[in-house]
Amino acid sequence: MGIGDPAHNAMIADLTTPENRDAAYSMSYMGFNVGIAVAPTVGGLLFENHLKLMFLGDAITALIAVALVLIFIEETIGKTKEELGEDRKLEKRVDGSIFRVLMSRPILIYFAIIAFGYNFVYSQWGFLMPIHVEYNFVDEGAKLYGKMASFNGLIVIVCTPMVTSLLSKKRNIMKMVYGGILYMVGFGMLGFISTKSAFFLSVLIFTIGEIVVVISVMPFITNHTPASHRGRMSSVLPLIMGLGHTLGPVIMGKVLENISIEVGWRYMGLIMLISTLLMFVLGKIEEIYEKKRNIVSVEKVI
User: Residue range 207-231: average pLDDT?
Assistant: 92
At 283 the pLDDT is 93
* Lowest-pLDDT choice from 43-52, 148-157, 220-229, 272-281: 43-52
At 295 the pLDDT is 57
CA distance 142 to 187: 19
- Say what percent of the chain tops pLDDT 90: 50
Q: Where are the domains of the chain?
A: 5-83+98-301
Q: Which amino acid would we find at residue 302? A: I
CA distance 174 to 214: 13
**87 or 263, greater pLDDT:** 263
H helices of the chain, in order, are 5-14, 21-47, 51-72, 98-104, 106-122, 128-136, 141-166, 172-188, 196-223, 230-255, 261-301
Mean of the per-residue pLDDT values for the chain? 89
In this structure, how many other beta carbons lie within 10 angstroms of the beta carbon of residue 185? 16
In CATH, what class is 5-83+98-301? Answer: mainly alpha
| pLDDT of 284 higher than 80 | yes
| pLDDT of 215 higher than 70 | yes
User: Residue range 151-180: average pLDDT?
Assistant: 92
* Lowest-pLDDT choice from 73-77, 237-241, 294-298: 294-298
- Say what percent of the chain tops pLDDT 70: 96
User: Residue range 57-74: average pLDDT?
Assistant: 91
Q: Are 243 and 236 in contact (CB under 8 A)?
A: no
Q: Tell me the three-class secondary structure of 217-278, residue by residue.
A: HHHHHHHCCCHHHHHHHHHHHHHHHHHHHHHHHHHHHHHCCCCCHHHHHHHHHHHHHHHHHH
What is the per-residue pLDDT across 231-263, written as a single tens digit (0 to 9) for each?
889 889 988 999 999 999 999 999 999 999 999
Q: For residue 148, what are the CA distances in angstroms to 17, 203, 254?
A: 36, 7, 25
144 φ, ψ to 5°? -65, -40
| pLDDT of 103 higher than 70 | yes
